[in-house]
Structure 1
Amino acid sequence: MANRANSRFSPYPQRPTRGMTDDGDVHNHRGGTHNHNHLARHGLLPLPQTAFFQQESQAPIFNGPIAGNVNHYASGIGALQTLYDHSATGAMHDSNERFPPPMCHPGTREAVVIRINDWYGYQQGPGKPIMWVHAPAGYGKTAIAGTISKMLAEIVGLDFIPLGATFFFWRTSPERNNSTRFVITIAYQLAMSIPELAPHVENAVEVNPMILRKALEVQLVKLIVEPFKAIGELRGIPNRLVIIDGLDECINSEQESRVAKKYAEDQEIVQVRVLDLIRTLQSHNLPLSFLILSRPEAWIKEHIESRSFANMVEVVDLYAVGDHMNDVEKYVRAELSRIAAKIGDMEWPTESTVDSFVWKANGHMAYASTVVRHIDDPYDDPRKRLKDILDAPTGSNPDFAHSTPFSSLYELYRQIMRSCPESNRSLMVEILENIIVTADFFSASHGFSGLFATLDSLSGRAAGCGARAIRGLHAVLCVSDRSSKRSSSLPNPFIHSSFVEFLTNPMLSLDFAVDKKKGSRRLLWNCLECMAVINSQSEGEGDHLRFALCTFQFLWVRAWSSKEDAQLHQDEYVKLVQKLLTIDLTACFIKSLEQPGILHPAFTNGAAVGSNFAHSLEHLPKESDPLSQQAIMHLLSSTEQAMLDIYKQPQAVLKIKLLHESKLQGYLTKLYNLSTNSNRRKSDEVAQALNQLRLNLQRWPNNWFNESPPLGWSSNIRPILDYIRQNDL
């Protein structure tokens, strides 16, 4: 790897020392000798003042605000200086606004840096002219872009600079959070880095100064495409790399800059517009390659995967490339060693401290760097600060919320949330509550697409509403249906636990706070509404029905885990108990045993009443105690009747066995409990049920009932199995 990297450029430069400039020798990027006028045009010598004349006035304006139509007299002024004046200079990789720029920590992100280096092949150009590197928030995309920019800008041994241009979008910068200056900024940098191009760009501005006010698509043709074509033969011009970082941070269109309008509704349009500008440049077969880095926003992904970009783009999922845990560990060890040297404690940190830190960061470089900035405080003990973080959830300590580094992380989360259209935000919060409450219910095979479809149906929403509501949160959520061979559960959808802590702490998330109890109560009511239509004759189908039947007890316990919850929302609690009394629970329990599983096995036995569920029905105040007792009796009697009735249906037990053994286990356990009941009538019903069970099992060619109970089954089931195996009952 070292030989390959050294043959082009050193892939791991040191981070520049704070306070020291790290700018490249910009005036040498063009190559050759410059005359006095050229130096002046490039800002290296003083320029004459720029004079503008407004309509209806003969008085010149020198470097002041301009209103109305303008006649721009180019005499005595450098066209490139004019271009520079209209550029977003802060968006360039070596700008003072970005100093010190984020860079990869030495020895980290090696895999992706080599991947980009191999793709670019700067002299001939890559096979695919565009590379899209995407990753969630906090995984170092900007640091990678900065590292690649610095490498190419400082490369030695070539007669040209491979870095053509850079544009670093930034959400909070009015100059860098929109596309208004995008083409002008790229054109200026290309003119500076490609000597053959500069005179043709200058000519375009001198001929038509108003091009700087034209639509971006027009600017693209006049300032980049036509100047390249004017060169003539392009095969001798080395390929240059254009780096565009943070495309998802481009949130305001040119029109929005002039009107009071929220950016969220139109960010998709302007980001896709930038992609189309890049595609247009590529279609002209110019000696340019494009490295785009962004979060995996759905609209960006869809557009890059569309037919218009077919065979143009190499896609790199940064989340899947390299060893993030190892990268974070290198960073953590280096930074903690630095802090230890500063405080004079060379025995700190211990290995267990480093391991705990790395585990808590979970490959999330933004979180790790935030923690380092938080503990690196000259007025406090960094050892104590780090211990406080590692010993308790971030959200549980109010000091973290007011810490400047953590405030920055939480503000990043708020910015991501605000990027979602305002009209969708209440539904977005509801869907986030749904995910937090129910993700552990679903099996991996059902996937997040199944989760959204099920909950849309359960809540009465149109299909696809849930997934669309969180469409803009791909920076912090990963809800793709990626398979897991090691787990039967859905993978954790949250990129980092700090985002969940942010969401569940109203002091941090403000208007975006999620309430797990509220989400559980809402879903529970939807489940009861769904169950209310079930009776012994109903033929209800659908995943939402299966979900309701198998999870309503768990949701009830989560929503009403204490008497305080019931007292705080007493009217809502009483309404739910009354709703429960109207439901044919016997039919619901029978139906739950017949349903094929969409859920994690731990939540499939909907017919077995948990003690926590029965206990949660006792939270009513004394004056409502009869209602509580009525609900408990309704629940228990319905369960017992369901267990006895189901085997009156031919082949019922075989169906249950085929669907899931845990349901059969629950049934047999319930029969055992009923067989110990002193009530003679119930004992007779149990005997009848066992007879029917034996007859059904004998019709089944598989002799499973002649075997021992499966591993993990209760030993109480053995007497039941022995009883049904007897030749005579």
Structure 2
Amino acid sequence: MDKLLQHTIIGAEFDSSDRHPPPRCHPGTRLAIVERCKVFTVQCNGEGKMRWVVGAAGVGKSAIMQIVAEEPPVDVILGASVFLSVNGRQDGRKIFTTIAYQLAAKCEVYCQFVRNQISRDPSLLRKSLPAQFQKFIVDPFVHQRLFNPSQRFLIIIDGLDECDDPLTQQELLGLISDFCIKYPSSPIVWFVASRPEPHITSFFDDVRVAPAYTKEEIKIDSDEACEDVQRYLRNELSKVKLAYPTLKHKREWPSELEFTKIATASGGLFAYASTVVRYIGDPHYRDPAAQLRRVLEVINGGSKDGVLGRDHPMAQLDALYRRILFNIPPDVMINTRKLLLIYSEYGWHRAYFRSTCNILGLTEDAAYGAVCHLHAVAKVPAPENADNEGLEFLHKSFPDFLVDFERSGFSLDFEDEANQFQAQTLFRVVEQVPDNFNDMESGEAIECGDFGYLKGGPDCCGKISLSWPGDERYQLTDDQLRLRLYSKSVDSLCYEFHPLSDLYWSMPCFHILTVRFTAPGYAFPIEELRDSAFEQFRPELKELGKFRQVPLRTLDYAAICGRVDLQFVSPIGIDTKLSDPWNPSCMHYKFGPGNGDDLQQRRGWVTSFWRYKTNPGAEVTHADIPRFNIEAGQESHWKSARKKGYRECPTCLRRFAHQFHHLRDQLATVFIDSTEMSYVEFSFVDADDGVSEWRYRFFHSGRPSCLG
């Protein structure tokens, strides 16, 4: 026995001091799962005598297996329990010797059998796994029939994914499953618990293995898991309250709102909930109220007092996540990093997996190689579902951990790195599609979400390279996939085009959005494009000859639509009566330094007002510009515009119409995009006072008549 002990995994048994105190299910939780496991142990007959217990990291698999080991059903003998761990208990080559040692310690007849085998062949302790399995399991339980067939032995292997070699893991599963199928009358019932690592999942997905096992999946987002976590939190926080005199007198602690925040953040992840409880009740600090506040700060968006390292509320959970990242080889991490950046809160979230991988330039093999170490924290779509599903994190705590450099060490500025990487990939895809479609007369258009329709049809995207092309598994053809990549990329550029984004508020992005659309949608960033054309990009557009100077008479007032911006300037020091003072009945906002009490002495201001419809009787339709077409069912958009202060002000509209019609020969600056929308700037000096300057900017649906 001493020799055998030397070849075992020390401390792996369920009651080892190395694991004390072991993880246990909180009283009253996981009752249904534990009961199903016990019923299986008693009732399983025939081939299916292996139970695969599978779940994400931190979901409580080991705690469930601990209870099953401590409380086996009546007439069931716990033959052996092997709780593997990367903390020194991961040598898969010693699993069967460990099982043999524990069986020998419980059963004298088995002990004598093993002693004889080792005496006859001392090298048995160093032989291959199949050889040891034959001698320690098959021979005594099947060939020698050391035990009554009516007896039932339970063998538990927990944390199989913690075993140091994936090939060893698969070899162990192969030996056990073959045994269950070949010897269905064996008295042994096997429990194997693991995370859903790809090589383990693929093993159990093999139809040849199906007769050997049943599956118990522990889900984070199930009602059962969430209810168990809430029960655990209430009981444990109640214990903390009773342990501290300063909290005992409080009628409610934590408050129901505070508890709800913690329970919601925990979801069904026991690792999160137990980490919170340990932190709040940590006897080292002896200040649960302060610890609770820190936890809530993290839940609400980050710690405010700079708590880091082991003092951070999520320190124990962070250690688990750091270990998962550490196990990713450096050469694989290059691609894993890309996917983590893109599927973060700063990326595309729920984007389809194959489309995303093609945008990133990842092959199918590279993509699944990149996520093979993430199955403990993320749901990875199967290849046949990759066109309709994305990578999903199982619990919000993992992406929260990633974006915090002090906790994860992943990125000094996660948001900036994610945004830059996303921008690079988007521009790379779009630049593969030519923006000149004059030679394509198919008349087709590509839908681009709420932003409108892009020029061209399937042929225009033919040059987009596919790193992960399709085959018979996918419904999308390669041409359809290219269209999706192109549309998705332009859609994202439209969404990101705004003044606060240095990466997208650029001339290349402006060019893409103004030359590739054939019709804008209601969300098309037309206001941002107009403002940037006359402000940030004015010098470049002027140099490129993109501005046209046209008389106002070539524009149709009835075709003016949307928001009209007005800037009024009266030079300081000129004390003159304004020819057309601001009307106090105007309902929209006015901004500027000249916004004083004296209506006659305002020196400068800017405002915006809205023109919702054309004048009565005007024969102008806006079917091609649904952003401005209230008749087309965009009422919610117009309501939003009114809330923002964009009023259809009769006073300002009358003044605007008067000035427009009486300055017919005044030149206006016009920029025309590919949808035939004209962005117009119209400036003049007030003829009555000779000094005040007026400038209007507005949209005109259609080209000026002089330009055809």
Normalised TM-score (structure 1): 0.64
Aligned: 1:427 with 2:335: yes
Q: Residue type matched to 1:561 in 2?
A: L
Range that drifts further, 274-283 or 322-331:
274-283
- Residue 190 of structure 1, aligned match among 76, 82, 103: 103
Kindly indicate whether the alpha-carbon contact (under 8 Å) linking 1:440 and 1:490 is maintained by their aligned counterparts in 2: no
Question: Aligned pair 1:544/2:457, yes or no?
Answer: no
Structure 1 residues 516-568: Cα deviation after superposition (integer angstroms, max 9, x where no partner): 322222222322232232332352242111111111133455xx836xxx5xx
Rounded to whole Å, the distance in 1 between the matches of 2:77 and 2:533 is 71
Residue deviations 1:412-434 (CA, integer Å, cap 9, x gap): 10111122222111211111010
What SS does the corresponding residue of 1:316 show, helix, strand or coil?
strand
The 3-state SS of whatever aligns with 2:200 is helix
Partner of residue 690, structure 1:
621
Corresponding residue of 1:292: 192
Instruction: Report the counterpart of residue 36 of structure 2 in structure 1.
Output: 115
Q: Which runs of 5+ in 1 are unaligned?
A: 1-79, 254-267, 443-447, 483-488, 567-572, 594-604, 638-643, 645-669, 695-704, 725-729
User: What is aligned with 1:179?
Assistant: 92
Query: Any residues of structure 2 matched to 1:715-726 within 5 Å, and which?
Result: none
Give the equivalent residue in structure 1 for 2:263.
Answer: 358
Structure with greater Cα Rg: 2
Q: Is 1:396 paired with 2:303?
A: yes
- Name the SS of the counterpart of 2:344 in structure 1: helix
Shift of 1:499: 1.4
Cα deviation, residue 358, structure 1: 1.2
Contact 1:332 1:358 in 2 (8 A): yes
Confirm or deny: 8 A CA contact 1:429 1:512 kept in the other structure: no
1: CA distance, partners of 2:535 / 2:405: 27
Local SS of the residue matching 2:190: strand
Question: CA shift at 1:691, angstroms?
Answer: 8.7
Q: 1:709 aligns with which of 629, 633, 651?
A: 633
Q: 1:585 & 1:329 partners in 2: Cα distance?
A: 49
Is contact 1:458-1:545 (8 Å) kept? no
Going from structure 1 to structure 2, the CA distance change for 1:358 and 1:491 (only over 3 Å counts) comes to farther
- Matching residue within 522, 525, 547 for 1:609: 525
Deviations 1:305-343 (A, max 9, x none): 113312222112210666122111211111111111111
CA pair 511-607 structure 1, distance change in 2 beyond 3 A: closer
Shift of 1:114: 1.4
Q: Give the CA deviation at 1:146.
A: 0.5
Query: Hey, which of these two has a bigger chunk of strand by percent?
Result: 2
Letter paired with 1:421: P
- Structure 2, unmatched stretches of 5+, are 441-455, 462-481, 549-554, 567-608, 643-647, 649-700, 702-708
- In structure 2, the residue matched to 1:673 is 562
Separation in 2, partners of 1:321, 1:692: 47
2:458 pairs with 1:458: no
Give 3-state SS (helix, strand or coil) of 1:396's partner.
Answer: coil
- The alignment partner of 1:149 has SS state of helix
CA contact (8 A) 1:225 1:284 kept: no
1:103-141 superposed Cα distances (whole Å, 9 cap, x missing partner): 10000011111111222216x647621111111111111
Q: 1:380 to 1:216 in 2, by over 3 A?
A: same
CA distance in 2, matches of 1:120, 1:325: 26
Which amino acid in the other structure matches residue 168 of structure 1? F
1:542-581 superposed matches below 5 A: 542-557=483-498, 561=500, 566=502, 577=506, 579-580=508-509
Q: CA deviation at 1:349?
A: 2.8
Q: Which residue of 1 aligns with 2:518?
A: 590
Query: CA 1:211/1:492 → structure 2, altered by over 3 Å: closer, same or farther?
Result: closer
Show the counterpart of 1:138.
58
User: Matched residues in 1 for 2:153 and 2:543: separation?
Assistant: 78
Secondary structure in 2 aligned to 1:131? strand
Match of 2:279 in 1: 374
2:25 to 104, 111, 125: 104
Return the match for 1:273 from 159, 162, 171: 171
Equivalent residue letter for 1:117: K
* Alignment partner of 1:200 is 2:113: yes
Q: Give the 5 Å matches for 1:29-40.
A: none
Q: Contact 2:357–2:367 (CA<8 Å) still a contact in 1?
A: yes
8 Å Cα contact 2:198/2:375 also seen in 1: yes
Aligned residue for 2:151?
238
2:135 alignment counterpart: 222
CA displacement at 1:360 relative to structure 2:
2.1
* Deviation >4 Å, runs of 4+: 124-127, 437-442, 489-492, 511-514, 610-620, 627-631, 674-678, 691-694, 705-708
CA shift for structure 1 position 713:
5.2
Residue 170 of structure 1 is aligned with which of 85, 88, 91? 85
Q: Distance in 2 between matches of 1:612 and 1:585?
A: 11
**Counterparts of 2:530 and 2:103 in 1: how far apart (Å)?**
72
1:244, CA displacement in angstroms?
1.0
Instruction: Go from structure 1 to structure 2 and tell me whether the alpha carbon gap of 1:407 and 1:585 turns closer, same or farther (over 3 Å shift).
Output: closer
Q: 1:672 to 1:358 in 2, by over 3 A?
A: same
Letter of the aligned partner of 1:472 in structure 2?
H
**Cα deviation, residue 271, structure 1:** 2.2
Mapped partners of 1:614, 1:270: distance in 2: 63
| Further displaced range: 373-382 or 510-519 | 510-519
1:135/1:317 contact within 8 Å kept: yes
Q: CA deviation at 1:615?
A: 7.3
CA RMSD of aligned residues (A): 4.2
The aligned counterpart of 2:238 is 337
Distance 1:351 1:395, change over 3 A: closer
Aligned to 1:415: 323
Distance 2:281 2:565 in 1: 66
Q: Measured at CA, do residues 138 and 580 of structure 1 come closer, stay the same or move farther in structure 2, by a change above 3 Å?
A: same
Local SS of the residue matching 1:690 = coil
CA distance in structure 1 between the aligned counterparts of 2:532 and 2:623, rounded to whole angstroms = 35
Judge conservation of contact 1:456–1:464 (CA < 8 Å) in 2. no
Structure 2 residue identity aligned to 1:408: Q
Change (3 A) 1:381 1:373: same
Are 2:126 and 1:213 equivalent residues in the alignment? yes
| Distance in structure 2 (CA, Å) of the matches to 1:504 and 1:290 | 40
C-alpha distance in 2, partners of 1:101/1:467? Answer: 34
The residue type equivalent to 2:296 in the other structure is L
Does the aligned pair in 1 maintain the 2:381–2:391 contact within 8 Å? Answer: no
2:48 counterpart of 1:147: no
Query: What is the CA–CA distance in structure 1 between the aligned matches of 2:18 and 2:174, rounded to whole Å?
Result: 28
More helix by share: 1
Given the alignment of the two structures, is residue 523 of structure 1 paired with residue 422 of structure 2, yes or no?
Answer: yes
Deviation for aligned residue 1:584: 5.0
Q: Distance in 2 between matches of 1:505 and 1:706?
A: 45
Which residue in 1 is equivalent to 2:292?
Answer: 386
Partner of 2:583: none
Aligned to 1:86: 7
- Is the Cα contact below 8 Å between 2:381 and 2:390 reproduced in 1? no
Whether the aligned pair in 2 keeps the contact of 1:429 and 1:514 (CA below 8 Å) is no
In structure 2, relative to structure 1, the CA distance for the partners of 1:693 and 1:508 (3 Å cut) is closer
* Corresponding residue pairs, total: 530
Identity over aligned residues, as a percent? 26
CA contact (8 A) 2:353 2:391 kept: no
Structure 2 CA distance, aligned partners of 1:676 and 1:365? 55
Displacement after TM superposition at 1:407 (Å): 2.5
Q: Secondary structure of 2:435's match?
A: coil
SS of the residue aligned with 1:315? strand
Name the CA distance, whole Å, in 2 between partners of 1:619 and 1:329.
55
Contact 1:457 1:463 in 2 (8 A): no
In structure 1, what is the equivalent of residue 579 of structure 2? none
CA distance in 1, matches of 2:377, 2:435: 39
2:71 aligned counterpart, secondary structure: helix
Opposite residue 494 of structure 2, the aligned amino acid is: Q
In 2, the alpha carbon distance for the partners of 1:630 and 1:126 equals: 83
